[in-house]
Amino acid sequence: MPSHNLAHIKIDDLEIIGYSVAGEETVVAMPQLDICFDIGKAPDQIISINNMLLTHGHMDHAAGFAYYLSQRNFCGIAPGTIYAPQNLLAPMREIIDAWGRLDGNKVPGNLVGVKAGEEYQIKPNLFVRVFPTKHGIDSVGYSVIEKRKKLKTEYSSLTGPQLVELKKQGIQIDYPLEVPIVTYIGDTQYVDFSQLNYIKESKILIAECTFYETDHTGRAEAGKHMHINEFAQLLDKLQNKHIIIAHTTQRTPMRQIQKILKESLSPEKYNRTTLLMANRQR
């Protein structure tokens, strides 16, 4: 039996598996991209994924990182890579060292400190771009971007040998194309993320929307989270094809969240939206 009953969502050829409840645990993995956003308590199903992208140091998002590294070592898998905001690296190293002393075995792993505005290569064509979020402590979000080369339209009718000939002459026949596949926002208060085109146009958006009830606006403000009123406003400015909502509160039953969501979004946006935690196998 796996440790967690995770939610499953499939979008074209990409799977999204995860568990995300505010204050309890958040972990969202995309196995085909070999990426996991936040790590929660390190469910069994994500241990084999090579790249962990942590958004911030809150325990419900980051608790399992040392266990993840240790389990990989135990199972004979190469050390994993954990990306996290730069300032988290020193305390993370202390935790890993302390576990090494408690356990009697060194815990191997690669830690990469990330900065908003920078980009990190995951696979030959796959890059992770880091952007700032607003959550009261060091926090970031991540966009996964595929970089391709596209043939310029003026050459589209040419044959293979003709293109080779042009290339030989030093003519630039293609141009770089960026395709934002998925954006994971992590914990944040409202920010106008539509100002960043790669977020606005990301095919998939995975975002927190923690609170739904009218009298929970104060809670959203205090915890630096989004309330549905703000989230609806944000969605109006974004163009994502698929929207997955994570980090829902335990204070409101899922059925009520679904009802409020339907009332708060335009039918056009609502039809693109799914609640992560409503997609668990019973």
**Nearer CB in complex with Zn ion: 58/129:** 58
**Nearer CB in complex with Zn ion: 187/230:** 187
Segment (H or E) for 165: helix 160-168
**Nearer CB in complex with Zn ion: 60/201:** 60
Distances (CA, A) of 265 to 85, 100, 228, 231, 236: 33, 49, 9, 9, 9
**Nearer CB in complex with Zn ion: 134/149:** 134
Distance of closest approach, residue 147 Cβ to Zn ion, in angstroms: 31
**Nearer CB in complex with Zn ion: 138/146:** 138
Q: Does 242 bind Zn ion (CB under 5 A)?
A: no
Distance of closest approach, residue 27 Cβ to Zn ion, in angstroms: 11
Single out the segment in contact with Zn ion by CB under 5 A; choices: 116-124, 159-167, 187-195, 271-279: 187-195
Q: Answer yes or no: are the C-beta atoms of 77 and 155 closer than 8 Å.
A: no
Number of residues that bind Zn ion (CB under 5 A): 2
Distances (CA, A) of 215 to 13, 70, 141, 187: 40, 43, 28, 20
Residues whose CB falls within 8 Å of the CB of residue 228, separated by 6 or more in sequence, listed in order: 209, 211, 212, 260, 261, 264
Single out the segment in contact with Zn ion by CB under 5 A; choices: 35-43, 66-74, 160-168, 184-192: 184-192
What is the distance between the alpha carbons of residues 142 and 116, in angstroms, rounded to a whole number?
A: 9
What is the distance between the alpha carbons of residues 131 and 191, in angstroms, rounded to a whole number?
A: 11
The residues facing 140 across adjacent strands are: 132
The residues facing 246 across adjacent strands are: 208
What is the distance between the alpha carbons of residues 61 and 73, in angstroms, rounded to a whole number?
A: 22
Q: Does 187 bind Zn ion (CB under 5 A)?
A: yes
Distance of closest approach, residue 56 Cβ to Zn ion, in angstroms: 6
**Based on the number of CB atoms within 10 Å of its own CB, is 208 exposed (0-12), middle (13-18) or buried (19 or more)?**
buried
Q: Does 41 bind Zn ion (CB under 5 A)?
A: no
**Nearer CB in complex with Zn ion: 77/137:** 137
Distance of closest approach, residue 76 Cβ to Zn ion, in angstroms: 32
Distance of closest approach, residue 220 Cβ to Zn ion, in angstroms: 12
CA-nearest of 49, 104, 103, 55 to 81 is: 49
Binder among 36, 37, 41, 58 for Zn ion (CB under 5 A): 58
Distance of closest approach, residue 228 Cβ to Zn ion, in angstroms: 16
Distance of closest approach, residue 140 Cβ to Zn ion, in angstroms: 12
Residue type, 10: K
**Nearer CB in complex with Zn ion: 188/274:** 188
Single out the segment in contact with Zn ion by CB under 5 A; choices: 37-45, 144-152, 186-194, 233-241: 186-194
Interface residues with Zn ion (CB under 5 A) are: 58, 187
